[in-house]
Amino acid sequence: MDCPWNELSLAFSRTSMFPFFDIAHYLVSVMALKHQPGAAAMAWKNPLSSWFTAMLHCFGGGILSCVLLAEPPLRFLANSTNILLASSVWYFVFFCPRDLVSQGYSFLPVQLLAVGMKEVTRTWKIVGGVTHANSYYKNGWIVMIAIGWARGAGGSIITNFEQLVKGCWKPEADEWLKMSDPAKVTLLGSVIFTFQQTNHLAISRHNLMFLYTMFLVATKITMMITETAVMPFAFFEDTLSRMLFGWQQLFSSCEKRSETKSSLSGTGSSTSKPIADASDKVHKKHTKKTE
């Protein structure tokens, strides 16, 4: 008989994302779009453009993974049920009378519930991306990591193209140049699930899915409650970055310190010589007067 922990994690890994978890993912994604400057006005002025942008936010990970694997980018349109569901969420968020959806989403418990459910879907997307890439490239762990990361965090990456088309793209906000915390934690999860897929990590998939999802949910909820934008492992990230990539800066700083010390000692010795010469002259004048 299996232990309760194994049964719990196995039942959790078999949970269907449709429809409730998918609705939470669409709601959080569309609300993030609505909070962008000018998004509400654009929805009233050009609903088709707003709808297309919302679909990029909702299905950006699938689109990017299809592009990387040379598959049809518009394959997500084949799932008409999810398209209708995401379109319904977009319509009610932007065009609901008296903005009731946005007002209801403004309550913190509702946001915590929706964001927690969205993080659950992130785990499923990473696992699906890693498994899908493994079916094309057996044990090609670099491809598996890339597709898992694209499937889990591709929404924030593919929207850069949409911002570039609209002319509001900013280089300092580019996900490739400055990765956000969700992109970093998704990359970490993609690496972990790739190691598990290639049998380099001695843990069952359902247990890993449960542990990683609990980590995502707990981290996100804690950051929202405490209103902090720093991930819990930011300290480890900085330490690892200094250990792996900070040696050149350390050596250059040590060289600069030694150069400044040598220059200071050189200037000190050069200034001491005129002082010694002046003292000798004063001493000679004093002896002449005494004589």
Question: How many angstroms from the chain centroid is the CA of residue 68?
Answer: 19
Angle at 159 between CA 35 and CA 87, to 5 degrees: 65
pLDDT in tens, 237-268: 778 777 877 766 655 655 666 666 566 555 54
pLDDT in tens, 92-112: 999 999 999 999 999 999 999
Judged against a pLDDT cut of 60, whether residue 283 lies above it is answered with: no
Residue 174, phi-psi category: left (phi > 0), alpha (psi -120 to 50), beta (remainder)? beta
Domain hosting residue 36, numbered range: 17-170+179-232
- Per-residue model confidence (pLDDT) at position 271: 46
- Per-residue model confidence (pLDDT) at position 139: 87
Angstrom distance (rounded) from CA 97 to CA 266: 78
- Residue at 102 is within a domain: yes
- Residue at 256 is within a domain: no
Specify whether the CB–CB gap between 89 and 118 falls below 8 A. no
Residue 290 has a CB neighbour count (10 Å cut-off) of 6
- Residue at 81 is within a domain: yes
- Residue at 58 is within a domain: yes
Angstrom distance (rounded) from CA 141 to CA 128: 14
- Residue range 44-49: average pLDDT? 93
- Residue at 80 is within a domain: yes
Q: Indicate if the alpha-carbon torsion angle 36, 185, 18, 116 is positive or negative.
A: negative
- Per-residue model confidence (pLDDT) at position 236: 77
Domain count, the chain: 1
| 181: exposed, middle or buried (Cβ count in 10 Å: 0-12, 13-18, 19+) | middle
| Residue from 160, 140, 143, 148 nearest 122 by CA | 148
- Residue at 8 is within a domain: no
Which pTM does this prediction carry? 0.83
> DSSP letter string over 225-284?
HHT--S-TTHHHHHHHHHHHH-HHHHHHHHHHHHHHHHHHHHHHHHHHHHHHHHHHHHHH
Specify whether the CB–CB gap between 158 and 64 falls below 8 A. yes
Structure tokens at 97: 């009378």
DSSP conformation class of 163: H
Q: What percent of the chain has pLDDT over 90?
A: 60
- Residue at 244 is within a domain: no
Q: Which residue has the higher pLDDT, 256 or 225?
A: 225
- Residue at 287 is within a domain: no
